[in-house]
Amino acid sequence: MAIMSYRDALNRALDEEMARDPKVFLMGEEVAEYDGAYKVSKGLLAKYGAKRVIDTPITELGFTGIGVGAAQVGLRPVIEWMTHNFALLALDQVVNNAAKMRYMTGGRFSMPVVFRGPNGPAEYLASQHSQSFASYWAHIPGLKVIAPATPSDAYGLLKSAIRDDDPVVVLESEMLYGTTGEVGNAEFLVPIGKAAVARPGTDLTLVTFSKPLHTCLEAAAALEASGISVEVIDLRSIRPLDMDTVRASVARTNRALVVDEAWPAASVGSHVAWLISRDCFDFLDAPVELVCSEDVPMPYNHALELAAQPSVAKITAAVKRALYQE
């Protein structure tokens, strides 16, 4: 096992897939000369040249559309958005073209394109650049949506995404790029649509994805000190969802909490909470709890910014409510 940062794990995945398949190329803002806004593409221009690592103008609709067209004729583009906040400008290409092409052509066209970049709250980015758009993508039939929270999953899931014949949206987190973890030395894939048990437990099932996983694990460790055993499920993939793993866990623990860094209305977290309530009703000994960001635009002030997001304190309080200890 190697200790590797999240950004280096993504870089390794891109490098290996570009070496394995000459049809794979990377396109986006500052991915080439600048080595990527977050240095995920560091060294790739020097290794693969300007025809496969392509800088673009600030035209998300345009270069996303080029990627959709390239996939339609047999290439395997990886489109990097500097942030999913900017991807709003490319919604038409992703939702109306990439997601529907296979369906509208009766399966005659595949769409092997990856759309990736940072999603969700970061620091000091205020209300226009610190938003979680997971539910935007998860809402659309025809897309696959993944949200790796560890370097190992970032590596294995991105490789799976690049090899997939359907469009895959990758939700990275700006705050995770510098985090480190173990990544296997040998090549491996992480399957899309399979959740992971990040921490076993017996008293409550805590379901989450992306950056909040680390906050949830911190909360679970704090709760253990008071005799509460929490099982933490990392969804990893939010379309498709692995509800089998979630249901099996809730059947054992009889309580559930969902944590999502997005707003509460029509979020991935609220959808998962509803699925648990519907499918696990006979197992539940308490209502399903949901911890999410406050229903406000993200403040710029750092104290308010942190207060708006899920925290260890909010998670532990919700766990205790579900256990009727508050």
Residues known to be catalytic: 60, 129
Q: Quote the CA–CA distance of 316 and 223 in Å, as a whole number.
A: 7
Give the side-chain half-sphere CA count within 13 A for 142.
21
Which strand (E) or helix (H) includes residue 102? helix 101-104
CA 316 to chain centre: 23
Is the distance from CB of 174 to CB of 122 less than 8 angstroms? yes
Strands 114-118, 168-172: pairing is parallel
Cβ 247 vs Cβ 207: under 8 Å = no
Q: How many CB atoms lie within 10 A of CB 95?
A: 17
Write out the E strands in 19-175: 24-28, 53-55, 76-80, 114-118, 144-146, 168-172
